[in-house]
Structure 1
Amino acid sequence: MIKNRVGSRRLVAAAAVLTMTALGLSACGSDDNDASGDGGPVRALLYAQPTTLDPVVGARTAASVWSTMLEPLIDADDDLELVDTGIITSWERTDPTTWTFKVREGIEFTNGEKADAAAVANSILLNRDTDAAILKSYFANVKTVEAPDATTVVVTTEKPQYNLADLLSNVFLVPAKYYEEKGSEGFAAAPVGTGPYVLDEVAAGRSISVKVNPDYWGEEPENEGVEFTWSNEPSQRLALLQSESVDIALDLPQAQAEQAEKAGLKTTTVDTAMKIIAFLESNKAPFDDPQLREAAALAIDREAIAEGIFDGNVIPDGGLLNIKPGSEPAEQVDADPAKAKSLVKGSPEVPITYPAGQYVNIDEVAQAIGGSLEAAGFKVKYNPVDYGTLVKQIVGRQLNGIYFFAGVPNVAVPDFFASGFMKSVSITGNCPDPKMDELVASALEQDDAAAAAPIYEELNTLGVVEKHCYVPLYRMQHTYATQKDVSGMGFNALSAMDFTKVKS
């Protein structure tokens, strides 16, 4: 659902995905850039500073920035369906384990390398083979990736996989030679892509700006570029917008959105597929005890969190694999504080790890859940960390207890969460179970998404309702505000942005 309180506008779907999450550093409105209407760049204020501009290892926290310079292999439209307007122009599943993709001709990276089938193949392999690749688990089934000619890529899988084309909408094209030469850190410092913009300037800790790519193969942007700044303080984001220091302020909580409206600014709210999820680490005490996992799940009241902390401006959601906004799981766990208390013996200690200031009101959410756990008999220890540290601790299997992590379905298929969170070898790996591994594999081997749907319902019930390894909390609504003369901002349910149509 999209609600535009100033008038209806069609949102333009972007071809990249992000969550506005990263290290929370202070904003830096530019004093000498008073308005973008004078021909300067669009000034976009993000929630947080990007952690990296390398799409291979980045947890999609900075795609708002890198997707202006880099492009996904396959485009998606505003209905989240795959379309032929991007780097890859057609795809065919020629047999259960073979996919053939056709690559657009005549495209080059801004450093002169050819953006051909070999580059596409290399980008897929980077996501499969790089140890730190955030999407590594999604491509574990890929057996071979070959480019028999400049416009053809053939991918074979060990087992059938119905969603391979969907996954390529989340793989960004990078130049093979440049990426190998620079490495992850070097590439992140100076990304090179095929997108509508190129890197202009980086002011460390302050801003990142991009300018129009004069040789872009597609439609030219309707502005001169974008300057990104950031602040994880909502009142500061609103103040910078009100002072006309920025053109667009992303991720405004309800209170600031209401103030923006009263000030005559335009606000737009989008129901997103981004979920905040509590993960229980079942490999270590105390949640290696299934009875204590159940107690924790029963103690948490997502309805109370939505109303008490967010004033109803998030959507309680007890399912893990129901991806699209409006969909519901077949079964979920509802709060039962009395039963939770009856299951807890002694005072087991539970660390609650969360990215302080990273997601809207996450500190208050952590305190609320901690209070519920304490009421059930747990002893709670709070462990606030920055987002980059949280990701490293999750991937490094360093956590125990409970931690909060945003689930962002970068493609609109349930496997993105099933493979990402539920397999034994996954991003979180918090609930290893051979049966869940079998179900994830079985779902992927189906002919299409419709055939896989009942298996995903079984998976959701097993992981959320029976094993209590995951406590889905709520889906976020994203509100952004713009100056009155700014139009054309694109933002969809997968939190994808498109700045190319923005005009002021």
Structure 2
Amino acid sequence: MNRTMRTLSSGLVLLLASVVAAPLASAQSVTIAIGSEPSTLDAQLRDDGGERQVNDNIYEALMARTPTGELVPGLAAAAPVQIDEKTWEFKLRDGIKFHNGEVFNADAVVASVLRVIDPANKSEQMAYLGPLAGAEKVDDLTVRIVTSAPDPILPARMYWLKMVPAAYSKDPAIGEKPVGTGPYTFVGWDRGNSIALSANADYWGGAPQIDDVTFRFVTEAGTRLSGLMAGEFDVIVNLLPEFADSVPQAKTVSGLDTSVIILGIDNPAVKDVRVRRALNMAIDRQTLADSLFAGHAGVTKGQLILPGAFGYNEDLAAWPYDPAGAKALIEEAGATGTVINLVGESGRWLKDREMIEAIAAYWTEIGIKVNVEILEFSVYLDRIFDMSKRPDSYFVLNSNELFDADREMAFAYEPGQGGAANSDKALGEAIVAARSQVDVEKRKAAYKEITRKINEEAYDVPLLNHRDIYGLSARMDWQPRVDAKLIVKEMKVNE
């Protein structure tokens, strides 16, 4: 385990010490280093963090959040009004246009909703959208969102769903040349290297201070770090915590991410609950948190649900670190020597490869043979969303922008949805029922029972709750958001 837990090599430390700061770009231009290249710039079809980091500046939604997480109107002129148990009415802001000149109105909202829910588009984002069923135009500035069942968190879902232009959304080019209503317009995509955006001078919310932004795709955390120290980058994501005191500015914020291993419980390798429990008991989560994240992560309390989100189960306890007990369970199940495929990626999240390798080592120590597959991010997404054959296990950091347990339920546990890897019909029915329960106390009780069952059956291996860590150049003035969005119009530069 020691090699897995080591931080950067002494070579990188020497490199950082020898860096001579290069001149920074002009005050109106910034460069942001992110961990993965977007698999597409279509804002509605993939569940891809790299895509969101770019498109959050190009596209907007009916609802928005403040940097501290408060839900507020976005393209909507006000909070929605619930017409009946399955219908919410939104009034829209007037005078807004998409970057290509198309008018933002009720037609655009209807087109956006119908496009994302169209089964032919196979959107990976449906795990965020629950029972969204359609939209109806009332007049140019009034639209009604319709659900197939009562949905108490529909306003929060409309913070997620980006609005696309009605006509242009039918053009396949939208995946490479995005067009939104946001503060920045698309300039160009240098495949494998960067994406450039430019300030929208006609932005309805006022032109942003920063004129140009370049998103660079830098998988290796050490390379992002050295680029920041050299003056090549103004903002880097996933700053290595052990170097927080070495950069011009380090900013942290309570994150929305929980690391987890989703288990394909229908697969022979992990079908036995004793094996699944052993996989949980084999991992020393506190050592992972301390050794890899230096206080910027905490051990999960037996669940994927984000602490503070509606539906978090306060009664669950962290899985104990008990390698002897885990090994005994593996032997009892006759699973010694069983091969488990563990799918992951590298660079999208802070120290993701290190975590995957550490977990594989823990599992090996209890008698399991682990086949680790580290995939390029777009290939990784294809694998985890392939409903025809889920991996035995896969590593992911799940984010909960909805601040509600339904996000985790829809992504990780509801059969046939998101990245869920089970065929538990009863669990699925319970999740659907909880989603549509409008009585707050009954809904809390439903999630308490669901999370208890998931924990008891060990349907997953929850790991850590993570804080977001950013590195900034000396000239940057920015406070990171709780939802991890890189909203450039909220950034300023100081000379």
Q: Aligned partners of 2:48 and 2:307: how far apart in 1?
A: 17
Q: How many residues align?
A: 462
* Secondary structure of 1:155 counterpart: strand
Contact 1:74–1:88 (CA under 8 A) maintained in structure 2 = no
Q: Aligned partners of 2:286 and 2:70: how far apart in 1?
A: 32
Partner of 1:9: none
TM-superposed CA distance for 1:349, in Å, is 1.1
* Secondary structure of 1:90 counterpart: coil
* Secondary structure of 2:178 counterpart: coil
Q: Of the candidates 17, 40, 54, which is equivalent to residue 52 of structure 1?
A: 40
Partner of 2:72: 83
* 1:148-163 equivalence runs, <5 A: 148-163=138-153
Partner of 1:174: 164
Q: Of the candidates 316, 321, 326, which is equivalent to residue 331 of structure 1?
A: 316
Q: Aligned partners of 1:86 and 1:114: how far apart in 2?
A: 12
Q: Aligned partners of 2:126 and 2:345: how far apart in 1?
A: 23
Q: Which moved more, 1:310-319 or 1:115-124?
A: 310-319
Q: Aligned partners of 1:472 and 1:234: how far apart in 2?
A: 24
* 2:368 matches 1:381: no
* Secondary structure of 2:270 counterpart: coil
Partner of 1:65: 54
TM-superposed CA distance for 1:254, in Å, is 0.9
Q: Aligned partners of 2:470 and 2:128: how far apart in 1?
A: 31
TM-superposed CA distance for 1:150, in Å, is 0.9
Matched letter for residue 196 of structure 1: P
Partner of 2:401: 410
Change in CA separation of 1:384 and 1:81 when aligned onto 2, cut-off 3 Å:
same
Identity of aligned residues (%): 24
Partner of 1:493: 482
Q: Aligned partners of 2:349 and 2:450: how far apart in 1?
A: 27
Change in CA separation of 1:233 and 1:154 when aligned onto 2, cut-off 3 Å:
same
Q: Which moved more, 1:197-206 or 1:135-144?
A: 135-144
* Secondary structure of 1:167 counterpart: helix
TM-superposed CA distance for 1:328, in Å, is 6.4
Matched letter for residue 205 of structure 2: G
* 2:219 matches 1:216: no
Q: What's the TM-score once normalised by structure 2's chain length?
A: 0.88
TM-superposed CA distance for 1:39, in Å, is 4.2
Q: CA-atom RMSD, angstroms?
A: 2.1
Partner of 2:5: none
Deviations 1:73-103 (A, max 9, x none): 2111234232124345231222222211211
Contact 2:24–2:232 (CA under 8 A) maintained in structure 1 = yes
* 1:323-472 equivalence runs, <5 A: 323-324=307-308, 329-332=314-317, 333-344=319-330, 345=334, 346-397=336-387, 398-447=389-438, 451-463=442-454, 465-472=455-462
Q: Of the candidates 229, 232, 251, which is equivalent to residue 245 of structure 1?
A: 232
* 2:100 matches 1:115: no
Unaligned segments of structure 2, at least 5 residues: 1-21
Q: Aligned partners of 1:167 and 1:51: how far apart in 2?
A: 23
Partner of 1:198: 185
Deviations 1:270-319 (A, max 9, x none): 12011111111111111122221122122222122112333333221132
* Secondary structure of 2:324 counterpart: helix
Partner of 2:16: none
Q: Aligned partners of 1:223 and 1:472: how far apart in 2?
A: 39
TM-superposed CA distance for 1:140, in Å, is 5.5
Matched letter for residue 406 of structure 1: L
Contact 1:322–1:329 (CA under 8 A) maintained in structure 2 = no
TM-superposed CA distance for 1:355, in Å, is 0.7
Matched letter for residue 338 of structure 1: A
TM-superposed CA distance for 1:171, in Å, is 0.5
Deviations 1:330-373 (A, max 9, x none): 21432322221112123211111111333222222222212221
Change in CA separation of 1:297 and 1:322 when aligned onto 2, cut-off 3 Å:
same
* 1:264-343 equivalence runs, <5 A: 265-318=248-301, 319-324=303-308, 329-332=314-317, 333-343=319-329
Q: Which moved more, 1:39-48 or 1:212-221?
A: 39-48
TM-superposed CA distance for 1:490, in Å, is 4.3
Unaligned segments of structure 1, at least 5 residues: 1-32
